[in-house]
Structure 1
Amino acid sequence: MALARGRFEDLAWVTGWDVAFADLYLDALTLHRASPDAVAGPWRLAFGAAPGLPPEAHVLLGMNAHINYDLPQSLIAVIPSEDFASPSLLDRRRRDHERIDDVLASRIAEEDVALQRVGGRRTPLDRLLAPVNRRASRAFLRESRRKVWANTYALHAARLEGPAAYAVRVSDLEAASAERVADLLRPGPVLVRLAVHGFGVTL
């Protein structure tokens, strides 16, 4: 819907990026169904999470894999090496990347309602903290996307060194994203904790 409303500077590029980003999830899901042990660590932990976890936990595990692990790789897929030599072009890409924050922020309340409908637990304290949690979600989404952009630069630098160096950095990204899972599942007000300490990972 945001694409149709013309909220981005380069509609064609964002459309191609959206496809590349979605394909990483679909590829991970297909591989998981065929060979669960072969899928990358963050997705293995998300797909293999205990069914009894609250819906919010499953969402955070999927977000961790798709944002922290997949998103920098999708940006590398649609920003070729030569584009990094053009500061003006990269600024356009960065601005469109940041505009996703506004799209996500506009959906937080709606997604919260959807989680409640599928069994999200809401204690009286949860209901009291709902406005705080929504602000916290906006904060950690912005923070994670800034780190994604920095990680894209790190992956690009490795790409210039060659396939072996790039594979090492992707492996580092996989490990860092998988390590985030323990904190995401730790008891307590996770959304507030993420807003304070961060959701993203750094290469």
Structure 2
Amino acid sequence: MDTIDQAIAAMDRRIDRALETGDPSGYFTCVYRAVTARVRDGILAGEFDDCARMERFDVAFARLYLDAADGLEKGTEISRSWRVAFEAPPSALVIQHVMAGMNAHINLDLGLAAAGVQQGAAVSDLRDDFERLNDVLAAMIDRMQDALTHTAPWTAVVDTWFGPVDELVSGWSIEYARGRAWSFAERLALAGDRERQSLVDARDARVAAIGRGILDPPLPLQWLNTLIAPQERANLRAVVHALVD
């Protein structure tokens, strides 16, 4: 997989399988597919400082998710962060599936991809385009919440009563996550092989713990899940159309 179009095609195949099987991991794939298509359009429009580098960066970023998904199916070792997201309990809401995936991909994979594209001190050259990619991710999270408002009405009720759903289920903030992801990328880019693996393992453990918090929130939010889950009417096909249209 060398191009963004190939990455999008791989995501399309995953979405098709999710539609056939009702696999809830398809909700994240749908959102991430929209993010990747937006980055591709930005590259074609010349929105990045170095568009060729951004394509390499975005393909490396996408490959980390796709490899994790393939690894789960094949029974090979994958990160703890992605295993937590993929093995979400049946009671998880749509928004929890999406945020658990975003947690693994931004808090772990984003730094890995950045450090892989720009090694050493040169990683600083990537900072502006890194921030532009994060802006796309943030905008897509907002768009995703709007899509769920129309396809899962209880999401709108929760937003009205309790504030942004992503903060509700996890205390997760993309503004915080993007800063941490960049710090992680800088440390990885300058680390030797032994230190690098230690950094990745420690980071993976922390991100997996955040993922468990998203999928198994404190008791008051568990009560809310119990109330909402039977009423949730989100449909993967409807979410796909809401994000594409």
Q: What TM bracket, shorter-length normalisation? A: 0.7 to 0.9
Partner of 1:48: 87
SS at match of 1:106: helix
Change (3 A) 1:119 1:51: farther
Distance 2:165 2:208 in 1: 25
Q: Which TM-score applies when normalising by structure 2?
A: 0.63
Of 8, 16, 22, the residue aligned with 2:62 is 22
SS at match of 1:122: helix
Q: How far is 1:33 from its partner?
A: 0.3
Residues 16-69 of structure 1, C-alpha deviations (whole Å, 9 max, x = no match):
100000001111111100116x22101111111113310010011101111111
Change (3 A) 1:135 1:152: same
Does 2:187 correspond to 1:147?
Answer: no
Change (3 A) 1:27 1:169: same
Distance 1:136 1:7 in 2: 30
Of 116, 126, 130, the residue aligned with 1:77 is 116
Does 2:228 correspond to 1:184?
Answer: no
Distance 2:155 2:49 in 1: 39
Residues 76-132 of structure 1, C-alpha deviations (whole Å, 9 max, x = no match):
110022625xxxxx2x411111112332333344211333455473363x24258x4
| Aligned 1:74-113 pairs, distance under 5 A | 74-81=113-120, 83-84=122-123, 90=124, 92-113=125-146
Does 2:199 correspond to 1:169?
Answer: yes
Distance 2:148 2:202 in 1: 32
Unaligned runs of 5+ in 2: 1-40, 222-245
Unaligned runs of 5+ in 1: 85-89, 190-203
Distance 1:120 1:155 in 2: 42
Of 105, 108, 121, the residue aligned with 2:154 is 121
RMSD value, Cα: 2.8
SS at match of 2:89: coil
Q: How many residues align?
A: 177
- What is the percentage of aligned positions where both structures have the same residue? 30
Q: How far is 1:167 from its partner?
A: 1.2
Distance 1:93 1:74 in 2: 11
Distance 2:112 2:159 in 1: 37
Distance 1:120 1:6 in 2: 38
> Where do 4+ consecutive residues of structure 1 move more than 3 Å?
116-121, 134-137
Of 23, 46, 67, the residue aligned with 1:6 is 46
Of 17, 32, 35, the residue aligned with 2:75 is 35
Distance 2:153 2:65 in 1: 24
AA in 1 matched with 2:212: A
Contact 2:110 2:181 in 1 (8 A): yes
Distance 2:134 2:120 in 1: 25
